[in-house]
Amino acid sequence: MTAEVPTSQEQEPPVVSVSDLAVWFPRRSGPLLRRTGWNQAVEGVSFSIQRGRTLALVGESGSGKSTTGLSIVRIQKPTRGSISLLGRDISNLEGRELRRIRRHMQLIFQDPTGSLNPRRTVTQVLDEVLRACGLRGEAVAARRAQLLAQVGLDSHHWSKYPHELSGGQRQRVGIARALATSPELVVCDEPVSSLDVSIQAQIMQLLARLQSELGVAYLFVSHDLAVVQALAHEVAVMHRGRLMEIGSVDEVFERPSHPYTAALLAAVPRGNPDLSRSERIVLRSEASSAEPATGCPFRTRCWAYLALDRPDDCEQIAPPAVVQPAAHEPSSAACHHAAEVTVMAVDELAPLRSDPPVRK
């Protein structure tokens, strides 16, 4: 699934395109819970995903990656910005029109237990969706059988309730349900995070195979960089609601240009007692949580800001906006010193790419 898409396809309109997306939640306090400000969960996020491709959203908890995913499928109403699905602006659709467009975009959740009705069997779960799509009679059974075969669920599981299935099997049901409407876009919100590694690998293989068979585009929300590297084509790194860096997985993982991306990569456990963690590339504590009003909002946590001896532009000028690069182009980062960061990061992160420890 890592094969490059031919250039002819890149002329097609993207499956989904997001421009200047913002989601703000009111911050309330005091006895009357008056609105005292806004919590900018997502602020100024733009990207697009082509057919058959996967864009991963990564970041720490609270970075706004899930909120971005939910607002794209319009479960969360965006505060500002536009969302286009197959070239059509859906950011202001309501009611019936919204329901109609929803079949083109589906969700897979982290916890398949919580997202399946415990009183419905696998068959009932799928049939409900298929009937809602307008299928009747024989067609329902035929499509159901096709879907369950696609996700690798044997027929003796069809009459079972969610609690009778294993975690991996439940996630297969969740995937079958998402694919029932033949969507062009599936937002996967931490789809393998709660699974054991042996099962996780099964579901990752399944998602990759379904994408190559059906050409579906994935927006893959995950905190796990190793999973993202194996499954995604492009990656967007979020911090406190803003995009820090965006680019192809190969570029971002091998030549990160934002200090935050480098810090995330540096924090991944190496699984090797002989490799010590980078002492230089570490995020500063969240304690200094107040974001400065001018300059780069990330600099209070930034290691490069210190390494470069507090440059003036970091303090005075807002960082450049990120622009999604074309395939094979270097990634784009919201950093004045991206080039210097890349040099430092490549140097420090080299051991990350080594293989398991060599026997002494």
Q: Is 310 left (phi over 0), alpha (psi -120 to 50) or beta?
A: left
Q: Is 128 in the site for another protein (CB under 8 A)?
A: no
Nearest distance from C-beta of residue 214 to another protein, angstroms: 17
230 is a contact residue toward another protein (CB under 8 A): yes
Distance (Å, rounded) from C-alpha 27 to C-alpha 262?
31
Q: Which range, of 134-142, 197-205, 211-219, 338-346, touches another protein by CB under 8 A? A: 197-205
- Residue 360 binds another protein (CB under 8 A): yes
Helix or strand or coil: residue 315? Answer: helix
Residue choice 223, 280, 308, 311 for contact with another protein (CB under 8 A): 223
Q: Smallest distance from the beta carbon of 18 to another protein, in angstroms?
A: 24
Interactions with another protein, residue window 280-319 (CB under 8 A): 282-283, 285-287
Measured from the CB atom, the residue of 32 and 197 that comes closer to another protein is 197
CB nearer to another protein: give 91 or 248: 248
At position 277, the amino acid (one-letter code) is R
DSSP string, 83-136: EEETTEE-TT--HHHHHHHHTTEEEE-S-TTTTS-TTS-HHHHHHHHHHHTT--
The window from 12-20, 75-83, 190-198, 212-220 that contacts another protein (CB under 8 A) reads 190-198
Q: Which of 265, 274, 270, 329 is nearest to 303 (CA)?
A: 265
Contact track, another protein, 79-118, x by CB under 8 A: ----------------------------------------
Q: Do the beta carbons of residue 33 and residue 27 sit within 8 Å?
A: no
Nearest approach, Cβ of residue 142 and another protein (Å):
28
| Site for another protein contains 6 (CB under 8 A) | no
**Conformational region of residue 139, where left means phi above 0, alpha means psi within -120 to 50, and beta covers everything else:** alpha
Interface region with another protein, contact rule CB under 8 A, candidates 26-34, 81-89, 93-101, 220-228: 220-228
Strand ranges (E), the chain: 16-29, 34-49, 54-58, 80-85, 88-89, 105-108, 185-189, 217-221, 234-239, 242-248, 332-333
Which of 76, 121, 205, 300 is close enough to bind another protein by CB under 8 A?
205
Residue type, 336: H
| Rounded distance between C-alpha atoms, residue 14 and residue 88, angstroms | 11
Residue closer to another protein by CB (options 287, 326) is 287
Q: Tell me which residue has tokens 């069809």.
A: 158
Q: Which stretch binds another protein (CB under 8 A): 6-14, 106-114, 125-133, 263-271?
A: 263-271
Considering only CA atoms, which of 159, 78, 77 is closest in space to residue 120? 159
Sheet strands side by side (includes 16-29): 34-49, 16-29, 80-85, 88-89
Size of the site for another protein (CB under 8 A): 55
Single residue of 220, 253, 298, 305 touching another protein by CB under 8 A: 253
Q: Give, as ranges, the residues between 13 and 42 that touch another protein (CB under 8 A).
A: none
* Residues lying near another protein in the complex (CB under 8 A): 1-2, 60-61, 166, 168, 196-202, 204-205, 208, 223-227, 229-231, 249-250, 253-254, 263-275, 277, 282-283, 285-287, 352-353, 355-360
